[in-house]
A and B are shown apart, each in its own frame.
Chain A
Amino acid sequence: GESVGLHLPTLSVQEGDNSIINCAYSNSASDYFIWYKQESGKGPQFIIDIRSNMDKRQGQRVTVLLNKTVKHLSLQIAATQPGDSAVYFCAQGAAGNKLTFGGGTRVLVKP
């Protein structure tokens, strides 16, 4: 079946340092992967996505890496800021834009 597995750890990072959030997925047939950020009291906010024909994609201060061999996805945040404190979810897409989410990682940015 499809599952995107994230433990629910809390990642504490010093302001200005880089953050790396990891995610494992099980459905190797998926060709679309997305990272979302969810702040308290809000819905998930799209950060960045990547297709399975790529292994790296960069956005503003964020980089997503996809390793299809070991079914692993990661999100790197450069120069982490207090506004980056949130829960981060990876998700994998299926036909018709149905998403399967992992359990989330909480990022706490220490000033």
Chain B
Amino acid sequence: DAGVTQSPTHLIKTRGQQVTLRCSPKSGHDTVSWYQQALGQGPQFIFQYYEEEERQRGNFPDRFSGHQFPNYSSELNVNALLLGDSALYLCASSLGQVLNSPLHFGNGTRLTVT
């Protein structure tokens, strides 16, 4: 039973560029959430997708956008990259209809913006 998988594992981009990160949820899960984790800090909620729609959003600018596909996989897009976007981006999946369904996290994509 595959857990949450994310690709790529590492990425280096230049300021001003755009990036796309990908996530496949744990088998049986239909909800995908994205978190940003700066070095030495706890993850911060970016947004959540369920039924191919953004359901909740954290305090992140519109440069951060996403998408969920019919197979429940998801992408996170970041435009006009800033140095401060350097972080570990975590994808987490859960069962959308189950109250307080525990989130299962992938191992993240380490994004470095230079």
Please give the residue numbers on chain A whose beta carbons come within 8 Å of chain B beta carbons, in ascending order: 4, 6, 8, 31-32, 34, 36, 41-46, 49, 51, 89, 91, 93, 96-104
Complex contacts, A103 vs chain B, CB 8 Å: 40-42
Given A34-B103, A98-B45: 8 more A-B contacts, CB < 8 Å: A6-B42, A46-B102, A97-B48, A97-B100, A97-B103, A99-B35, A99-B103, A103-B40
Cα A79 to Cα B72 with chains together (Å)? 40
When C-beta atoms are compared, the residue in chain B nearest to A47 turns out to be: B102
Cβ-based interface call for B15 (8 A): no
Cα A105 to Cα B35 with chains together (Å)? 19
**Which of A4, A42, A98, A101 neighbours the largest number of chain B CB atoms within 10 Å of its CB?**
A98
Cα A44 to Cα B43 with chains together (Å)? 9
Cβ-based interface call for B104 (8 A): yes
Q: Is B104's CB under 8 angstroms from A46's CB?
A: yes
Chain B 70-105 against A: per-residue CB contact (8 Å), 1 yes, 0 no? 000000000000000000001010101000111111
Complex contacts, B101 vs chain A, CB 8 Å: 97
How far in angstroms is the closest Cβ of chain A from B79?
A: 23
Q: Report, as a range, how many residues of chain B touch the other chain.
A: 20 to 34
A-B contacts at CB below 8 angstroms, number: 65
Q: Is A43's CB under 8 angstroms from B105's CB?
A: yes
Please give the residue numbers on chain B whose beta carbons come within 8 Å of chain A beta carbons, in ascending order: 4, 31, 33, 35, 40-45, 48, 55-56, 58, 90, 92, 94, 96, 100-108
Assess A101 versus B31: contact at CB under 8 Å? Given A34-B102, A49-B100.
no
When C-beta atoms are compared, the residue in chain B nearest to A6 turns out to be: B42
How far in angstroms is the closest Cβ of chain A from B39?
A: 11
When C-beta atoms are compared, the residue in chain A nearest to B44 turns out to be: A101
How far in angstroms is the closest Cβ of chain A from B53?
A: 12
Cα A41 to Cα B35 with chains together (Å)? 15
